[in-house]
Amino acid sequence: MKKIVFLILILFAVNAYGNPDNSMSITPVAVAGAKITASDENTRNSVVSSAYNAHDHTDISKTANTLNIGDGAAGDKKLNANNADTFKPYIKFEDTTDNWIVSSNGVAPSLVLSGSSLVFEGSSDDAYETTFSITDPTVDRTQTFQDDSGVIPLGTMGNTLKFTTTGATNVTLPISGTIITSAGAGGDIDIGTFSLTANTLISDVATGTAPLTVASTTTVTNLSADTVDGINSTSTDLKPFGAWVDKSASYVAQQATTDGFVVARIGGSTEAFASGFTDGNADPSTCRNSVRGFGTIESVSFTMPVKKSDYWKVIVTSGSVDSIFWIPLGN
């Protein structure tokens, strides 16, 4: 009966306490048929107890609701799935880099988490990763993702905001300042060669600053303005004619810079004869008006309209020039 108990004790000791040494020498050695004394049994039990106590069982321990992993010494800590599956995931803390590493295959890191960044390996195990970096906050911050699907716009180090996964659709932003707030734009906005379409264009700038600057001189179809150069249809400053310009000394061919009129007065003792010419030629040859007087006369006159950019001249055939004036249309 004692021999059976002794064999059970040895088997239990080897199976339960053999790790991590994998071997154990128990003395005194049992001999078949020999009598087991109490002293021998105590000696053997002491050997088994010493071997058990020599092994450190603090690699995994529990303190309240905390699971402690490791032997208390500095170094990396890893929680590994010990199985025969194709993928053997593990969670590892790297003591030297202060990073948590999660692996989906037990070989390459799938996710690296540090205090200021989150690194994703992606579907390919290579030298390229995507890093989400967090700027050290000065107060508590909250970044909220909306309840929707789509691509998160990506701002580059320059001033381009990309809206697609390839960056093919983007918009160029001001390099400083605020674009739009509830109070309005915080900086100039340049949309390049694109068109800006809206129902109403409203300017709230105070008098003294032009509300609109236009580089083109092309006519704007259907443009309706209540005031032009400070003058409207009810203004007392509206002047259909400009100032008189005396051309009595020089009435050969000259070009009109505005629409206007030539007013000529010719005098003579027996005859006065003068003609007015105007057209698009530098030396106009189209007679638009003429006047002739005979006998004892003081003077005769005519008025000739001239189009803007056309040329005009007066030819006196007989008599002499009393006066020739140019009067433009407008101010």
CATH of the domain at 271: 2.60.120.40
Residues 316 and 253 in one domain: yes
Angle between the 2-17 and 38-54 helix axes, to the nearest 10 degrees? 10
Q: Look up residue 296 and give its two tokens.
A: 């004892």
Residues 37 and 77 in one domain: no
Residues 20 and 90 in one domain: no
Q: Look up residue 79 and give its two tokens.
A: 């929680």
Residues 269 and 296 in one domain: yes
Tally of CB atoms within 10 A around 109: 20
Give domain status of residue 225, yes or no. Answer: no
Residues 16 and 78 in one domain: no
Would residue 285 be called left, alpha or beta, if left means φ above 0 and alpha means ψ between -120 and 50 degrees? alpha
Residue that finishes a domain, picked among 87, 113, 133:
133
Residues 266 and 316 in one domain: yes
Residues 253 and 295 in one domain: yes
Show the domain range for 100.
72-133
pLDDT for the residue 239? 64
Residues 45 and 92 in one domain: no
Residues 249 and 322 in one domain: yes
Give domain status of residue 83, yes or no. Answer: yes
Give domain status of residue 166, yes or no. Answer: no
pLDDT for the residue 223? 85
pLDDT for the residue 328? 93
Tens digits of pLDDT across the chain (331 residues): 333 333 333 333 333 333 344 466 666 676 777 777 777 777 777 776 666 665 555 566 777 777 676 666 677 777 766 666 666 677 877 777 777 878 766 666 677 777 788 888 877 778 888 888 888 889 998 988 888 888 777 776 666 777 776 666 666 666 666 666 555 666 677 777 888 888 888 888 898 898 888 889 898 888 888 777 777 766 666 667 889 999 998 888 999 999 999 999 998 778 889 999 999 999 999 999 999 888 776 788 999 999 999 999 999 998 889 999 999 987 5
pLDDT for the residue 87? 67
- Of the candidates 203, 198, 201, 174, the one whose C-alpha atom is nearest the C-alpha of residue 188 is 174
Residue that finishes a domain, picked among 114, 133, 152:
133
Give domain status of residue 147, yes or no. Answer: no
What is the residue whose two structure tokens read 């003579």? 268
Give domain status of residue 36, yes or no. Answer: yes
Give domain status of residue 181, yes or no. Answer: no
Distance CA 301, CA 248 (A): 13
What is the residue whose two structure tokens read 């105590």? 42
Give domain status of residue 216, yes or no. Answer: no
Give domain status of residue 180, yes or no. Answer: no
Q: Domain count of the chain?
A: 3
Residues 81 and 46 in one domain: no
pTM for this prediction: 0.35
Q: Is 231 helix (H, G, I), strand (E, B) or coil?
A: strand
pLDDT for the residue 288? 94
Phi and psi (nearest 5°) for 131? -115, 125
